[in-house]
Structure 1
Amino acid sequence: MLGQTVSTRKEEAGKDKSIIILYLEEMRWRQWTKNVLVFAAFIFSINKVEISMLFNSIFGFICFCLVSSCVYILNDYLDRESDKLHPKKKNRPIASGQINPQQAIFVAVLILLGAISFSFYIDALFGFVIVSYLALNIAYSLKLKHIVILDIMTIASGFVLRAIGGALVIKVVLTPWFLICIMLLALFLAVNKRRHELLLLEEGGLQHRKVLINYSLPLIDQMNNIVTSSTIVSYALFTFTSGRTIHLMWTIPFVLYGIFRYLFLIYMKNEGGAPDKILFKDKPLLAAVVLYAFVTLIILYAFE
């Protein structure tokens, strides 16, 4: 009875929201933090930064935010029936019926056309990265998310494209080791998201996400061990072989702590379903990320 009362209150609160708020929720603006990766190239070029590079990075960030939001709308449109079976996703505007599905697709197309046009205006190669990112995510929504292993690898590829796009808009080159680190870190987050879904949804999860039938906790934990170890080793190699100052090695402890803290939250607190929420909710993890960025900027600015 109490659960039904809380659910009813949430539905009534949702009906009182304006259409703008509903669309912002549908576009999942809180997950725009994932696109902060666009600024990675800017941060590692801080010693030769120009004001135009900052503006281009911001414009690139906006493009990725808009395109990713359109992908979220498409994904929610396609999954609107299965999302109704999910304990949390059933409250999304499309799944809950607060937004008309066809209207949402129309709005997404308009936003998408504007974002793609703007991306090509910024830089032609960046525009192709945006289109590639869109195509990859459409393929994920339609097919790849149902294929075991390829589903998490597709998610990781999206993060790599963000980093590449961020480098293109400011005309710098990212080292292969850095891209490998990003891919492995993204795999780390994707694998643990699947683990969280297995724990949260159990049998009901097979109705919501069919690919879960091909995963098990022992398999996920084995993949987690491999990706975690590879991420740490790859980042350590990046600090020594990237051609930048060797003093980047002093950032390794922050990376170690961040990964260990995330594993603690996953295995001891049963979290991991929403990395963007965990980052801002867990103060030790957020502090590690902020300190990592700060120390990296100081090292690059002082020793290069």
Structure 2
Amino acid sequence: MTSTDVPPVTGEAPVARTPASVTLGLLRTMRPKQWVKNVLVLAAPFTSGDLFTGRAVLQLAVAFVAFSLAASAIYLVNDAKDVEADRVHPKKRHRPIAAGIVPAQLAFALAVVLALAALGLSLLATWQLLVLIAVYLAVQLGYCFGLKHQPVLDICIVASGFLLRAVAGGLATGIPLSQAFLLCAGFGSLFMVAGKRYAEMMLAERTGAKIRKSLEAYSASYLRFVWALSATVLIMNYCLWAFEIREEHHNTAWSTISIVPFVVAVLRYSVDVDSGNGGAPDEIALRDRVLQVLALVWVATLTLAVYTV
């Protein structure tokens, strides 16, 4: 075995480590497909009617890129930290670090560079965004180094990642965030995360597949309770937010009408989750055509509510 070959997972051939394979492996570990989550930074400016102003566009671009860099840094740390556990996992063992393509030390080093770049870039928008990115990195690092195994804390931390993205758009552009918006973002995030965990548990019970360690502390009934509670609070606060938008934007009825596709979309998403076949929220959204249509109708009604006189 040459010096560029890495001991593989038991039963597999040695992995040749080349500059090209390492570069590609680092890019895969950074999970660029997950950057789509960062469109949540557009939520607050969109609903306030300030999305298309020149200054807001630049600041939101900064927030999007900063969150992308910060998230990729966390993915690198997570995979490097869990390399030994991933090597015995049927799917995760094919991740670049677990497969021996990317050295763990290199992943840690790049994570530091990306985290510093995210912090520096965020300062181009506002100092408040810098603080938010720092909080995001601290919370997510805590998750990587042990909190992921703590019941309740694990789902709350994952949900906070979505919430902080939504808050970032407001901080980057100086737009005040309403209480109803924050509650929708927070409980919407918890709804998706609890639903994902519930679907994982249902799939494990049906197929006998191994579940993540944190799920061992939960029961299906508890996750279903959290999921249902989050959906209830989410829908209630969205209705209040819709009425709030109606008062702020010319008393139009479109924001009230948007409640219909929103509620139906929540119910449709719940069907996917309850089947036990639901994966990550982005995977469900890309697979369910009906859910996509409902989302488009919802966005259309909100656009009419905010951007028409």
**TM-score range relative to shorter protein:** 0.7 to 0.9
In the other structure, the counterpart of 1:129 is 132
Distance 1:76 1:47, change over 3 A: closer
User: 1:1-304 maps to which residues of 2 (within 5 A)?
Assistant: 18-46=21-49, 49-201=52-204, 205=210, 209-241=212-244, 243-245=247-249, 246=251, 247=253, 248-268=255-275, 270-303=276-309
User: Matched residues in 2 for 1:267 and 1:176: separation?
Assistant: 30
User: How many corresponding residue pairs?
Assistant: 292
When structure 1 is superposed on structure 2, of 119-128 and 241-250 the one drifting more is 241-250
Aligned-partner residue type, residue 25 of structure 2: L
* Closer, same or farther: CA 20–284 of 1 in aligned 2, 3 Å: farther
Structure 2 distance, partners of 1:40, 1:210, is 33
Matching residue of 2:7: none
Q: Is the 8 A contact 1:42 1:54 kept in 2?
A: no
Q: Give 1:48 deviation, angstroms.
A: 7.5
Checking the alignment, whether the CA contact within 8 Å between 2:84 and 2:98 is kept in structure 1 is yes
Cα shift at 1:145: 1.4
* Consecutive unaligned residues in structure 1, runs of 5 or more: 1-7
Q: 2:50, 2:110 → 1: CA distance?
A: 41
Q: CA separation in 1, counterparts of 2:280 and 2:227?
A: 17
2: CA distance between counterparts of 1:198 and 1:96? 27
User: Does structure 2 conserve the Cα–Cα contact (< 8 Å) formed by 1:26 and 1:93?
Assistant: yes
Alignment check: 8 A CA contact 2:158 2:193 kept: yes
Is the CA contact 1:198–1:212 (under 8 Å) kept in the aligned structure 2?
yes
In 2, Cα distance between equivalents of 1:180 and 1:48: 21
- Structure 1 pair 281–108 and aligned structure 2 pair: CA distance change class (3 A): same
Cα RMSD between the aligned structures?
Answer: 2.5
Structure 1 counterpart of 2:248, one-letter code: R
- Identity over aligned pairs, percent: 32
Look up the SS of the partner of 1:121 in the other structure: coil
Asked whether the equivalents of residues 47 and 300 of structure 1 are also in contact (C-alpha less than 8 Å), the reply is no
1:226-277 CA distances to partner (integer Å, 9 max, x unpaired)? 1111111111111113553453111111211211111111223x23331112
CA distance in structure 2 between the partners assigned to 1:83 and 1:99 by the alignment: 14
Distance 1:55 1:292 in 2: 26
Residue by residue, what CA displacement relative to the aligned partner does 1:58-91 show, whole Å, maximum 9, x if unpaired?
1101100110111011111111222234333222
Higher relative contact order (CA 8 A, sep 6+): 1
Higher helix proportion (structure 1 or 2): 1
User: Counterpart amino acid of 1:81?
Assistant: E
Which of these two proteins has the greater Rg computed from alpha carbons? 2
**What is the TM-score with the length of structure 1 in the denominator?**
0.88
* CA–CA distance in structure 2, aligned partners of residues 87 and 192 of structure 1: 23
Cα gap change, 1:184/1:84 in structure 2, threshold over 3 Å: closer, same or farther? same
Q: 2:51, 2:222 → 1: CA distance?
A: 45
Greater mean deviation of Cα atoms: 42-51 or 223-232: 42-51
Q: TM-score, normalised by structure 2?
A: 0.86
The runs of 5 or more residues in structure 2 that have no matched partner are 1-10
